[in-house]
Amino acid sequence: MARLFLMLLSLLLPQLALSQQNGTTLLEYFNSLGGVRVEYVLSGVSSDGKITVSDNGSAEIQGKCYHVKGAGIEIFSNGETSYYYSSKSEELVIANNEAIPLLAASNISKKSSGETVATYTAPDKVVYTIELKKVVALEEPLPASAFVFQDFDNPSLIITDIR
C-alpha cells in the first residue's frame, strides 16, 4: 500500500504541471515564484465509495525537482532519479523518472475558498483528489541536494534500485 501511494504521488505532482490553470501550467506558475512550498491533502475514493488513499503533507517544488513529505513517507526527485523512502519500514526504492501521462487529463479548479484542487479518475475508477492548501514562494533557491535522498549510511536501510 505504501509503495502504491508513493508511486501515485510521485506521478501526481509532476503531471499536475501538465494541466492548465488560468491559462498557465502549475509548473510555469511554480517556476515564476522561483520554487514553492506546498501543503496538500490527497484522497482517493473508489467507485463504490470506499476511501483507498487519505494523506496530507508538504512538498517543495523547484523546476523539475521536488521533495514530498507524507505520513512516514518521503519522495525525492532531482528530475532524473526518484527516491521513495518509508521511515516506517526503512525501505528506499530508487527509480528513473518516467514521463507517464497518467494525469494529463486532470481537472484543475479553484474552490470558493481559493484552494487549488486537482482530480483524476484512474483506469480502476478510483477518483484521486489533491487539494493544495497552501502555496508559498521559496525565498531562496534550494540546493540540488534537497531533492536527493541523503541517509545512505543508515545500516538498517533496505535499498531496492530499479533503475
The third-level CATH classification (topology) of the domain covering 2-161 is outer membrane lipoprotein receptor (LolB), chain A (2.50.20)
Q: Quick one: residue 2, left, alpha or beta (phi over 0 = left, psi -120 to 50 = alpha)?
A: alpha
For residue 149, the number of C-alpha atoms closer than 13 Å in the C-beta half-sphere is 25
Tell me what the mean pLDDT of segment 111-138 comes to.
83
Q: How far apart are CA 135 and CA 113, in angstroms?
A: 14
pLDDT of residue 160: 95
Strands 116-121 and 81-86: unpaired
Tell me what the mean pLDDT of segment 108-136 comes to.
82
Please provide the average confidence, as pLDDT, over all residues in the chain: 78
Tell me what the mean pLDDT of segment 93-118 comes to.
67
pLDDT of residue 10: 53
Q: Cell 535499498 identifies what position?
A: 159
pLDDT in tens, 39-70: 989 889 999 999 988 889 998 988 888 898 98
pLDDT of residue 109: 74
